[in-house]
Amino acid sequence: MTRREELAANLATVHARIDAACAAAGRPAGDVHLVVVTKFFPASDVRLLAELGVTDVGENRHQEAEAKAAECADLADLAVRWHYIGGLQSNKAAAVARYADVIESVDRPGLIDRIARGADERGRPVDVLLQVSLDAPGSEHRAGADPDLLLELAASVDLAPQLVLRGLMAVAPLGEDPAEAFARLAHIRAEFLEHHPEASVLSAGMSGDLEAAISAGATHVRVGTAVLGSRPGVQ
């Protein structure tokens, strides 16, 4: 099997899972968009994925993402959108905005001016998702804003004309049933939508838990392993 055939077969399997999860949730097929997470995999895979119809790819490390986006920039017909889904260091935020079309991991106000500056330099707006933490209060904090801070963060994004607030992103905490975490997320999102009805994207669900995320309302799933295979050197 060629790499292209392998990716095509994996994509078909993932699309079938998404379709089945939409059906089970009573949502129309096509309600959920696939972002293929290409971290650790080469630009050649991004090209193959684009040829196979993938429109959105995700990366979580700035240096790797920047290099890969540059490697793919020569292909005029390669119309993939780059999603930055990793932790954002303040001093890298402007640089990320120079190649990312969507930044999914905005979790603190200090990032916003820097992202806006990068967007200015590139001369086009950047879509933003606010990453919300689903960790139980008191647990060791992983990435993401406290749910109570989302409206404040959204207000800051709205003040930056270069940024377009699209919605929320979350990762299910390790060691918890993802369905329970995503149920909390659905509540957080419903409340958020009352204030920001235009920000209707919900990016949640990965290879292992995309069904639970879709049943909780995800509009975008971020899938790496199930499409590309196991990442080298990663559990």
Ligand X SMILES: *Cc1c(COP(=O)(O)O)cnc(C)c1O
164-203: contacts with ligand X (CB under 6 A) = 171
Question: Looking at beta carbons only, is 22 or 227 nearer to ligand X?
Answer: 227
Q: Which of 22, 65, 85, 116 binds ligand X (CB under 6 A)?
A: 85
> Using CA atoms, how far apart are residues 201 and 168, in angstroms rounded to an integer?
6
Assess 39 for contact with ligand X (CB under 6 A). yes
| Cβ neighbours of 8 (radius 10 Å) | 18
List strand residue ranges (DSSP E) for the chain, in order. Answer: 33-37, 56-59, 81-84, 102-106, 126-131, 163-169, 201-203, 220-223
Name the phi and psi angles at 45, rounded to 5: -70, -35
Question: Looking at beta carbons only, is 32 or 160 nearer to ligand X?
Answer: 32
Question: Looking at beta carbons only, is 86 or 147 nearer to ligand X?
Answer: 86
Assess 220 for contact with ligand X (CB under 6 A). no
Residue 169, strand partner residues: 131, 203
Is the Cβ–Cβ distance between 121 and 100 less than 8 Å? no
Assess 42 for contact with ligand X (CB under 6 A). no
Question: Looking at beta carbons only, is 60 or 156 nearer to ligand X?
Answer: 60
Q: Which of 22, 50, 56, 60 binds ligand X (CB under 6 A)?
A: 60
Whose tokens are 């895979």? That residue is: 45
Assess 134 for contact with ligand X (CB under 6 A). no
Query: Which one of the spans 89-97, 155-163, 183-191, 206-214 is the region binding ligand X (CB under 6 A)?
Result: 206-214
3-state secondary structure of 216: coil
> Which residues of the shown chain bind ligand X in the complex (CB under 6 A)?
37, 39, 60, 85, 171, 206-208, 222-226
